[in-house]
Structure 1
Amino acid sequence: MRRFLPQTLPVWVLLIVIAGLLISQVATLYIVSRDRAAANDVVDLYRLNDRAFSLVQLMHDATPEERKATATGLFNSTYALTVSDTPAVTSSIAGDDELAELEDILVGRLSKFGITDARVRRDPATREADDAGGAAPGPEIGQVERDLLVLAADFAQSDKLTASLRFADGQWLNFTEPITPVGPILSVDSLPLYSLIAGLVVIMSIWSLRRLTAPYRMMETAVNRIGNDLKSPPIAESGSREVRAAAKAINAMQARLREYVEDREHLAAALAHDLRTPMTRMRLRLELLRRSPARQALAHDLADIESIASSVIDFAKFEVTEEKAERIDFWSLVESVADSYETVSFDNDDVRPRGLICMARPVALKRCVTNLVQNAVTYGKQAHLSLSRLDGTITLAIRDEGPGIPQAQIDAVFGSFVRLEQSRNRQTGGLGLGLTIARNIARAAGGEVRLSNHPDGGLLTELRLPMAA
């Protein structure tokens, strides 16, 4: 279930805005519809009361025959009007409280005209009324006439209020009043406008959310860039007060991290460099022990110490050294590194891809490729190289013929001073810094180094770098 839910904050906010919009619109339409129905009921009762007053005022002084003649002249299918000796509304009990109150109002208002009883009921539209809606208006009539005909048809097909009023002489006045039809809240004409407004609200919400979250996306990119390269430029401290404060905190964090890392690197470089002076004196004194049996063992140990010092200095200089990124022909760089090793060959030597241009620090990138190739030659004897390009990414694949690496230790070998070769021989085991330096260089250039065991045996090392624009 969780995989179908949004995974980002902007999408959640957008869904909440849309859901709130839909709920508020549905609630508004429901309230408007209910209020319209209530208002129509009051208007219908008012119209019946007003018509009853007019008819009674017209007929109260007339004779029974004159009343019938007048009713016949005013009769029509929509507003039926009759005068008879029996009421059309036979029940003297009102259908609801509203009609009961209206009956009392009619009797009280019309008693001066001789009205002694009033009865009102609601009647549903009859089939005859539905069939008498009339023919569809023709195309030759005007818009006002068309609207009037449509409205008349709606009244003819609506429910009715039937009233019966008794004169003092016992004669009943019966008439009907159509109930005002309640039109739909959303019509064919209003639906496009409603949809347009809802669409504009959604579009404005999306635009506002993108504007609101843009600084956070920028800061996320900046933090990721800092993780790959501490020397990346600081982010701009602009925008709202909260965004400026967050950007300032990130820049301060980057500055402190850079100072901390540089202090450690300078310390390591200084210690390794200072070791060279006593090592030089030791080598000079070692030359004086030409006939000592311990001379060869001491020379071997001294060479190991010098190798360690050189590796530490190189590792420290990787971040301390200032070097600008340049456009590099990656094929030429890899080829120059491969020429230094007799056991390195290209799998696609006959087809050389061109245009493999990347942006990186030249010396650092060459060190990265050299470390990877040297690692393959040292542990795998033979190294097979291949270059490819896919979707703006350059991939250097290096496959050796060694035993590979246990799957559980593939990520561990990227740690500093991690050696899977357990011997103390620096020629076969190294110092454990080569892959660490290579991956740091690749990440600083926006790339990555990945290790995997090849299906045919050996270790497969992939260096991926983004192509230059």
Structure 2
Amino acid sequence: MKALPIFARTFLLLLGALLVALALGIALLLTMPPRRPADIPLSEVVALLSSELPSTNDRLTVSDSSERPACPEGHRQDPFMRMRLARWLGVAEDQVSYCNGMRMPGLGPGSAFHRRPAGPDRAAVFEPAATDEAGTEPAVPPAARRPPPMRDAMPPGDDGFPANAPLFGNFVAATRKADGHWRSVVHRMPGPLPSVARQVGLLFLCGAVAMLPLAWWFSRALSAPISRFAQAADRLGSHPGAAPLDRSGPAELARAADSFNTMQARINRLLDERTRTIGAIAHDLRTPLARLSFRLQALPAEARDKASADIDEMSRMIAAALDFLHGQSQPGPRDRLDFASLVESAVGDLADTGQDVMLTAAEPAVLLGDPLALRRAVSNLIDNALKYAGSARLQLYRDNGNVVLEVDDDGPGIDAARENELFLPFARGDESRNRDTGGIGLGLSVAHGVVLDHGGSLRLHNRSEGGLRALMTLPCLPADQGALA
């Protein structure tokens, strides 16, 4: 099945996110509780005011006081509701108080009411009274505020409202008892925000649960091929002969993998051609060198000795170059090996020849590697210390899943700017090419190539107390997998 391009994957992810967001919005609208004022039956308020019963409604609070309750902030006396409440309780209006916290046209707080007298063709009704500039109700004689003569027992509902019409909004209803105390019923509407916030939080959680797997899959599918591409690019510098990059992931990355594999093949071809060319030149030079050795016999003794020394040096250089090319082109097999034992063996062999070599500490460490190549790398580092300082001190320890080998000497050190240059073939720390130090500049290059081929690193830096330290770091197996059979 052909993989989707990055553009298509990104488009599908955004489309999925948009659909989830729309679904959350629709779910919020469908599941949100209705935003309407909670209603309280008038009969329930009357029952609480006319008795000593406690409130069974958590929105109603009943209390008794010796003083007439004042209207809370934001509430105003509602004459119309006070009249209705007085009729239900069967008391005079001045024995009842009703403070309304809900604004309604002509009936809410901030409105003052007066009774419009009954006419021959209309009944007496309440209408908003005129207010002065301060917004207060002008003084009206008590007699004018009294209803006109009506039936002695006007039942609730004759004023044009249902008998048990619900009460809306926040209000404070109170009546004066026979003992002079005032009994109050306070209603506070529950705020809708907490329930809405919980609903939004729950829907957000559901949306996150729905989107996280899709986002994780998209990120994983996009980042995995890029990570493999980056690892292959890093591996190309240390191991050009590695397997080609797998063509997986989006179409764009598949094309990039094809280009990378083509580039790797070209680099490998160039390296092979270089290796064969240098090998052929080095091999062919042996024949004229052999002929020169025979012809030296006719020269005087002094000239013959100098020429022989030059020919011997050229022969060693050719042999070293051939060995270097052989090691680069034909890596050995990888086996589980004890690196500490390998280092101890290399140090012991040099110490037996009278060299000043000492291994001060060695922790066991098992890794996968080419034993011959690794031994050659360790020996080259020790030889480098012996050539320039006459002694070498080694220390081996584990550090965060790696094994670290330190090779210290008391030599002159190096120029810090030439650290990377010294790892190049035929580069030497002694630029004078003095024969006393020996070598042709392949020791560090060979060691560096072996370490990189094993996924490690090799660094050189001057010690603060003087001398040079070569730091070899190699990945090793975990402790629970490091036991050799």
TM-score per shorter chain, which class? Answer: 0.5 to 0.7
Maintained 8 Å contact 1:338/1:344? no
Shift in Å at residue 264 of structure 1?
Answer: 0.6
Could you say if the C-alpha distance between residues 185 and 455 of structure 1 is closer, same or farther in structure 2, counting changes exceeding 3 Å? Answer: same
Distance 1:215 1:129 in 2: 73
Provide the C-alpha distance between the structure 1 equivalents of 2:130 and 2:216, rounded to a whole number of angstroms. Answer: 62
Q: Is the 8 A contact 2:222 2:249 kept in 1?
A: no
Mapped partners of 2:393, 2:332: distance in 1: 30
CA shift for structure 1 position 244: 2.1
2:347–2:359 contact (8 Å) kept in structure 1: no
Letter matched to residue 442 of structure 2: L
SS of equivalent residue, structure 1 residue 346: strand
- 1:195 is aligned to 205
Determine if contact 1:315/1:433 at 8 Å carries over to the other structure: yes
Uncovered stretches (5+) of structure 1, i.e. residues with no partner: 1-12, 44-67, 93-123, 135-152, 158-180
Q: Between Structure 1 and Structure 2, how many residues are aligned?
A: 344
CA RMSD of aligned residues (A): 4.2
Q: 1:241 aligns with which of 235, 239, 251?
A: 251
CA shift for structure 1 position 87: 5.2
Compare 212-221 and 195-204 and name the one that shifted more.
195-204
Change (3 A) 1:192 1:298: same
Task: State the shift of 1:91 in Å.
Answer: 7.2
Partner residue of 1:88 out of 96, 111, 127: 127
Q: Percent identity?
A: 29
Q: Check 1:188–1:456 CA distance in 2 against 1; reply closer, same or farther (3 A cut).
A: same
1:448 aligns with 2:445: no
Letter in 2 for 1:410: E
User: Matches of residues 23-42 of structure 1 in structure 2 within 5 Å?
Assistant: none
Closer, same or farther: CA 198–331 of 1 in aligned 2, 3 Å: closer
Match of 1:346 in 2: 358
- Among 293, 302, 326, the alignment partner of 1:293 is 302
Give the C-alpha shift of residue 32 in structure 1: 7.2
* 1:208 counterpart residue number: 218
In the other structure, the counterpart of 2:388 is: 379
1:228 lines up with 2:238 in the alignment: yes
Distance 1:401 1:378 in 2: 11
User: Tell me, which stretches of 5 or more residues in structure 2 are unaligned?
Assistant: 1-9, 38-82, 91-96, 117-124, 132-167, 175-183
Calculate the TM-score normalised by the size of structure 1.
0.63
Cα 1:242–1:133, aligned 2, differ >3 Å: closer, same or farther?
farther
Structure of higher CA gyration radius: 2
CA deviations 1:15-41 (Å, max 9, x no partner) are x98xx99xx79x969x979xx9xx989
- After superposition, the C-alpha distances for 1:355-410 in whole angstroms (9 at most, x for unaligned) are x2221222222221121111111011001111112222111111112111133333
**Relative to structure 1, is the Cα distance of residues 244 and 129 closer, same or farther in structure 2, using a 3 angstrom cutoff?**
farther
- 1:128 corresponds to: 172
- Per-residue CA deviation, residues 41-98 of structure 1 (Å, 9 max, x unaligned), is 9x9xxxxxxxxxxxxxxxxxxxxxxxx99x968x997897999417534579xxxxxx
Deviation at 1:196, TM superposition (A): 3.4
Instruction: Give 1:329's aligned residue.
Output: 338
Query: Secondary structure of 2:407's match?
Result: strand
Q: Counterpart amino acid of 2:271?
A: V
Which has a greater percent of helix?
Answer: 1
CA 1:193–1:288 in structure 2 vs 1: closer, same or farther (change >3 Å)? same
Higher relative contact order (CA 8 A, sep 6+): 2
Per-residue deviation at 1:249? 1.8
**Are the structure 2 counterparts of residues 133 and 126 from structure 1 closer, same or farther at C-alpha, using a change threshold of 3 Å?**
closer
- Corresponding residue for residue 217 of structure 1: 227
Query: Which residue number corresponds to residue 457 of structure 1?
Result: 466
What one-letter code is carried by the residue in structure 2 that aligns with 1:233? Answer: A
Q: Please give the alpha-carbon distance, in whole angstroms, between the structure 2 residues aligned to 1:449 and 1:423.
A: 25
Measure how far apart 1:126 and its partner are. Answer: 6.4
Provide the C-alpha distance between the structure 1 equivalents of 2:308 and 2:255, rounded to a whole number of angstroms.
58
